[in-house]
Amino acid sequence: MKFRFIILLGIVSIIAVNAQKRAYFTPEDQKNWIFVLNKPAINAGDLFIFDNGILKITDVTTGYLRTKKVYRHFVLEIDWRWPKVAANSGILIHIQKNDTVWPACYQVQQKANAAGDIICMKGLRAKECTDSVKFTIPKLQASNEKAPGEWNHIKVVSKKGTLEVYVNGVLQNKITGMTAKKGYIGLQAEGKPVEFKNLTIR
């Protein structure tokens, strides 16, 4: 009887954890984000569409959305695709205060044929990115993004001033000695349609 109770308790705990798992990119999730647009007169909902688990970014202007929460050590995973034409976007890591287009952060590049590059933006530095000349750290391997319409997967690991980037399961970049070790997380709109889904931050 005691053994059955322990099993039942474990099942209830798993159900409770799953129930608490955050659902990203639903209409209800919009309240958890800050929207920064290059043209503030445009409605943020026209640039960032939360469509039942898929974030659809349009081409009405440029900008980004970011978390309200600050993150330090984390593993981020997300799927992305270009609906029709290979274009440009990025994941903004350790965004600093004073939102502007573009902010001080580390950009994990998702530009076509450059997914996995890391850009040190607005004065942030790393051991591999030390001055205004070498502010982009190229990816380690040949480009491995999929064709427009197909979903890609990217994993970003931030820990103790080190950033690792995996594109479709391949380690594409690693930087160390980052001058910013915490900040907000954002997704970039660069003027062309792009879609995101299956975001997890743990």
pLDDT in tens, the chain (202 residues): 454 544 434 433 433 334 346 899 999 999 999 999 999 999 999 999 999 999 999 999 999 999 999 999 999 999 999 999 999 999 999 999 999 999 999 999 999 999 999 999 999 999 998 777 669 999 999 999 999 999 999 999 999 999 999 999 999 999 999 999 999 999 999 999 999 999 999 9
Instruction: For the beta carbon of residue 17, count every other beta carbon within 10 angstroms.
Output: 9
Residues 6+ apart with CB under 8 A from 176: 126, 127, 128, 161, 162
Q: How open is the CA angle 150-153-154, to the nearest 5 degrees?
A: 140
The whole-number pLDDT of residue 114 equals: 97
Distance CA(90)–CA(59), nearest Å, equals: 15
Residues 6+ apart with CB under 8 A from 177: 126, 127, 161, 162
Pick the CATH number of 24-201 from 3.40.1360.10, 3.40.50.12780, 2.60.120.560, 3.40.50.300: 2.60.120.560
pTM: 0.89
Q: What is the separation, in whole angstroms, between the first and last Cα of the chain?
A: 36
Strand ranges, E, within the chain: 33-37, 48-51, 54-57, 62-67, 74-81, 90-95, 105-109, 118-121, 136-137, 152-159, 162-167, 170-175, 184-190, 194-201
Count H helices and E strands in the chain, helices first. 2, 14
Distance CA(102)–CA(123), nearest Å, equals: 12
Domain layout of the chain by residue ranges: 24-201
Residues 6+ apart with CB under 8 A from 119: 90, 106, 107, 109, 135, 136, 137
